Amino acid sequence: MTSMMMLVSHRNVFSMLVMSALASMIVGMALPTVACYIIVATMVAPTLAAAGVNLYAAHFFAFYFAIVSNITPPVALTAFVAAGIVKASPMKTAVTASRIGIAAYILPFLFVWYPGVLLQGTVPEIATACIRSMFTIITIAVAFGGAWFRVKMPLWMSGLMIAAAVCIFLPFSFLNLPSYGVIIGCFAVLYMRSRRMTAG
């Protein structure tokens, strides 16, 4: 499997991550947690490690996507069980679960690009990675959720916040500060609107 993925991706790390994510989700469908990890640890993680990905990050990446398959259509075993309990549409429940849990699909990539999230590296590297990841995850989760402080977000603001979060994620340092400013500004606007609603 390692040689095949290396060949198809032309040793491009991002391509390998995408293929590994898909492979992990397919392998992890409807499997218990321990079985998920055993399979992806032997099939997927070695491929990423061979491509130069941090060993801890490779294992966490594969395991995370294997578990996320429980809320990812078309199988989405956990979402289907929840839909049965509340007598809701299984597929709509799975799609909603994927939208609400969108951050779970982003975090494994942060493990790879910023190993400091897994406490790998120096103290400044760990602190920087955690701050970047926190801003990225919270922003994307709120933007896809469409509301903050009980205030519905306009579509343009959601798009702006997602774009800013992507800019933080990218390795271009000159975009970081403006992106942080945009995100903090959007959160401040939503908070002030919430205060006005409460006061009114």
CA 111 vs. chain centroid, Å, equals: 10
Give the global pTM: 0.78
Extended beta strands in the chain, E state = 147-148, 151-152
The pLDDT score that the predictor gives to residue 19 is: 83
Name the token pair of 11.
Answer: 């040793």
The pLDDT score that the predictor gives to residue 171 is: 65
Low-confidence stretches of the chain (pLDDT < 50) are none
Extended beta strands in 76-198, E state = 147-148, 151-152
Distance CA 66, CA 61 (A): 9
The pLDDT score that the predictor gives to residue 110 is: 87
The pLDDT score that the predictor gives to residue 9 is: 62
Number of Cβ atoms within 10 Å of the Cβ of 189: 14
Name the token pair of 61.
Answer: 């990446």
Distance CA 156, CA 168 (A): 19
